[in-house]
Amino acid sequence: MSRFEKHLFICTNERPPDIPKGCCAARDSREIAACFKDELHRRGLHKKIRANKAGCLDLCEFGPALVVYPEGVWYRQVTPADVVEIIESHLVGNRPVARLQMTPALWQEYQTLKAK
């Protein structure tokens, strides 16, 4: 089997509905994962780019979350409508989608939320 150029991990973790921070599954992450897989297959990219469902990526309050490797680029609040843009800009064009990235300021905000 050949090595993939990029791996995309999409959080599909599910928590009970009474957990205040929520979960990515409750925010359509399974649909997002299916959209990535379908679009990568449609474009013939599925042998170069692998989209995987993942357990908790620990960004619950900013979900749905996903991360792209080998770059280690983290995305937050992704919707199904963002899938094509991420594929075209980042996965194919090597230009991460800035408006969806976890910036240093957002990481700091998240650390503050988790500390409460």
* Angle (nearest 5°) at CA 106 between 102 and 110: 110
110 three-state secondary structure: helix
Specify the amino acid at residue 78. V
Asked if 24 and 47 touch (Cβ cutoff 8 Å), the reply is no
Radius of gyration of the chain from Cα atoms?
Answer: 14
108 or 99: which carries more pLDDT confidence? 99
pLDDT band at 2 (very low <50, low <70, confident <90, very high): low
83 neighbors 33 (Cβ within 8 angstroms): no
Q: Dmax of the chain from CA atoms?
A: 45
Q: What is the mean pLDDT of residues 64-93?
A: 97
pTM score: 0.90
Residue reference for tokens 């309050």: 61
How does pLDDT run across 27-64, given as a tens digit for each residue?
Answer: 999 999 999 999 999 999 999 999 999 999 988 888 89
